[in-house]
Chains A and B, each alone.
Chain A
Amino acid sequence: MTEIFGVPIQALFGQLMLGLVNGSFYAVLSLGLAVIFGMLNIINFAHGALYMTGAMLAWIFLEYLGVGYWWSLLLAPVCVGLIGIAIERLMLQWLYKLDHLYGLLLTFGLALMIEGLFRDLYGVAGQPYSIPEELSGAFNLGFMFLPKYRAWTIVASLSVCLLTWYMIEKTRLGAYLRAATENPRLTQAFGINVPLMVMLTYGFGVGLAGFAGVLAAPASQVGPLMGSNLIIVVFAVVVIGGMGSILGSVVTGLALGIIEGMTKVFWPEASATVVFMIMAVVLMIRPAGLFGREK
């Protein structure tokens, strides 16, 4: 068998595939963060908690209401989005004019509260959520055994990323949004309801987190800590990609997933830190991130 650095090439392909799976989660999550930062200038620390909320909602729907995976995939993000809208209306909207730090502190506090709530209600061991019938089983790709569910997460998250990009860059609604970000007062003068746009953006951004949460539910244990485990890495992804850059967050999300996957083969002990090492290097060379523009 052909080998690269002592690792069989087939195993390497397998690891690449897994990197892609994890990367697609990073992509959806960092996309939500990037959209929110781009439009609202808020560093949304509650993102991880809302991702977890999405997964927990999927579990709650199934456990108490008998609502299956596919409906959850639609309903949970909507619910999370509504929670987001409530947060934006009740709290965040008062902070836009202040320093970034206030938004960060508020959302961080919210994250702790949401986590604490679920921890109190359901404990930390987590709940099992099984893979839907249609997607159980696996493809034998020759070089690896790829569970159908993991393949589906790549397809689903990349479609969502593409859709988001299309909506923001190519539609009229997206154009309004971009205008509102660039110059809110002028946009308002054209008769566009900017506060409404901002509210919807936040709702949409956290809805993405909820979506990723439901996607993750069958692949990992559904528990209150799942968000905080992931969110720090996702922040690093956003920083590397460039704060607020949509394309940047998607591309870096996938790339870092793959790099992390490779590290797990060659130096497993470092796999938790490799993303941050890259972040440090990128910040030294390009402080605005790989895809960010310096203002």
Chain B
Amino acid sequence: MMKRKLLALTLSALFLPAAGSALAQAGKISGDVVKIAVLTDMSGVYSALGGKGSVLGAEMAIEDFKAKFKPKFKIELVSADHQNKADVGSNKVREWYDTQGVDMVTDVLNSGVAIAVAKVTTEKNKIMLNTGAASTRLTNEDCAPSNVVHYVYDTYALANGPGKAVTKQGKDSWFFLTADYAFGHSLEKDTTDAVKANGGKVLGAVRHPLNASDFSSFLLQAQASKAKVVGLANAGGDTINSIKAANEFGLTKNQTVVGLLTTIVDIHALGLPTTQGMMFTEGFYWNLNQETREFSRRFFSKHKGMPNMLPAGTYSAVLHYLKAVQAAGTDDTAAVMKQMKATPINDAFAKGGKIRDDGRMIHDMYLVEVKKQSESKEPWDYYHVKQVIPAEEAFQPMALSRCAAVAKK
């Protein structure tokens, strides 16, 4: 009895995906459902950046899409925690693609996980709209422009703003505190390039393990380097603890701390007295205009916190994807990708955003400075937007692309 059941299950598992793809080829929606998956860090060091916020962003996108376009197809959303482990992430995504009929996966923060998931996505010919990871490898060495879009930001965009602005202020010698994996290395390298291009120099770097419990030792080394600027090539909890220790050890008196991947969530966690005057690049600020404020207040009412660029970007990515599915009349990967690349992106997150041939979505970025406590008029009123970096300048130019698929053209 048991055996027969197992056999039946195995057989149906074998045939289901085949049936699904046959439908897709007929130019319809596979399984009559568009299934979107959010893969993120739900509980670890980066979960405050994306995590539940990203899931909420995706939910809001689906809600808005349904209200405006009244689609004939069903939309489902699933999510999972990759625990910042590449193997956990890629196994989950494989399962989603093979047995659950997932069409598109989004967020996927943590560059290590993202690169692994990109490989599975390409192999299974599905779509990843990456709104969470930072490494430029996703559109260079590991690019897969037919399947992967890098949507929100990358280390080049993060590095470029402060690398240029801070160095030009005469703070021209840098020392890095770098998270010791793909993302940190990538961020350090891109900032180094930006600093050097603007006449600065890099005095050294210390590589710390992800999720280090104590940063005072690394900061002491940064202090000893006598560099004018200490660049934090890390993120999430690591950045928060680095900044806290930098204040405690008096490093901020003589040196400028630049958090290279800092978002409003980190500023909120640290408070303005600790962070005032810090400069960094963000892809989204809730208080930019009427549209961002409306979106963010809606988000706030459910999340009890303002969105940073990750949830806002996830919102935009899911919305853009669904619009493309609607327009193409199918969830077939090639057709949807073509549609997405052909349409400019205009929503609360991006104005005139565009997906390039290498899979990079380009849009304006913002160089911000953290306000002083006295300048902040309401909760979450944290940034002076110092400069809007136009899309073409914010991201790596196509001419410098190391993406093989683009070079062949």
Contact = CB atoms under 8 A, between A and B. Distances in A.
A9 to B, nearest CB: 11
A149 interface: yes
Contacts of A230: 213
Contact of A147 (B45, B47, B249): B249
B221 interface: yes
Contacts of A138: 249-250
Interface in B245-275: 245, 248-250, 265-266, 268-271, 274
B209 interface: yes
Contact of B241 (A14, A147, A220): A220
Interface string A104-144: 00000000000000010001111110010000001000001
B295 interface: no
Interface centre among A22, A124, A261 (most CB of B within 10 A): A124
Nearest to A128: B271
B8 interface: no
Contacts of A219: 245, 248
A22 B47 contact: no
Given A124-B237, A221-B237, A221-B241, A18 B220 contact: yes
A119 B81 CA distance: 14
A115 B221 CA distance: 33
A163 interface: no
B368 to A, nearest CB: 18
Interface stretch (A77-85, A186-194, A248-256, A265-273): A265-273
Contacts of B268: 125
B249 A145 contact: yes
Contacts of A124: 43-45, 47-48, 51, 237
Contacts of B220: 11, 14-15, 18, 144
A125 B48 contact: yes
Interface in A1-43: 8, 11, 14-15, 18-19, 21-22
A150 interface: yes
B217 interface: yes
Given A220-B241, A264-B217, A265-B217, A126 B249 contact: no
A173 B257 CA distance: 52
Nearest to B41: A124
A128 B274 contact: yes
Contacts of A213: none
Interface in B172-223: 180, 206-209, 211-214, 216-218, 220-221, 223
Interface in B226-255: 237, 240-241, 244-245, 248-250
B11 interface: no
A223 B214 CA distance: 14
A230 B245 CA distance: 17
B244 A220 contact: yes
A15 B266 contact: no
B224 interface: yes
A147 B223 CA distance: 14
A18 B241 CA distance: 15
A268 B208 contact: yes
Interface in A216-232: 219-221, 223, 225-226, 229-230
Contacts of A223: 237
Contacts of B240: 125-126, 221
B78 to A, nearest CB: 20
B248 A147 contact: yes
Contact of B221 (A147, A265, A272): A265
A221 B47 contact: no
Given A11-B220, A124-B43, A128-B271, A220 B214 contact: yes
Given A127-B269, A145-B250, A268 B241 contact: no
Interface in B31-85: 43-45, 47-48, 51
B266 A268 contact: no
A11 B250 CA distance: 15
Contacts of A221: 237, 240-241, 244, 269-270
A128 to B, nearest CB: 5
A128 B269 contact: yes
Contact of A272 (B212, B217, B248): B212
Contact of A268 (B43, B48, B207): B207
Contacts of A14: 220, 224
A145 B45 CA distance: 29
B180 to A, nearest CB: 5
A149 B270 contact: no
Contacts of B305: 123
A126 B209 contact: no
A19 to B, nearest CB: 8
Contacts of B214: 18, 22, 220
Nearest to A230: B213
Given A15-B217, A15-B220, A269-B209, A149 B248 contact: yes
Nearest to B216: A18
Contacts of B248: 131, 147, 149-150, 219
A229 B211 contact: yes
Interface of B: 43-45, 47-48, 51, 180, 206-209, 211-214, 216-218, 220-221, 223-224, 237, 240-241, 244-245, 248-250, 265-266, 268-271, 274, 305
A-B pairs, top 8 by smallest CB distance, nearest first, are A125-B48, A272-B209, A264-B217, A125-B269, A11-B224, A229-B213, A147-B248, A128-B271
6 contacts: A18-B216, A125-B269, A150-B248, A233-B213, A264-B217, A269-B209
Interface of A: 8, 11, 14-15, 18-19, 21-22, 119, 123-128, 131, 138, 144-145, 147, 149-150, 219-221, 223, 225-226, 229-230, 233, 261, 264-265, 268-269, 271-272
Given A145-B250, A221-B270, A269-B209, 18 more contacts: A11-B221, A19-B217, A124-B48, A124-B237, A125-B266, A125-B268, A125-B269, A128-B271, A145-B249, A147-B248, A150-B216, A221-B237, A221-B241, A221-B269, A229-B211, A264-B221, A268-B180, A268-B218
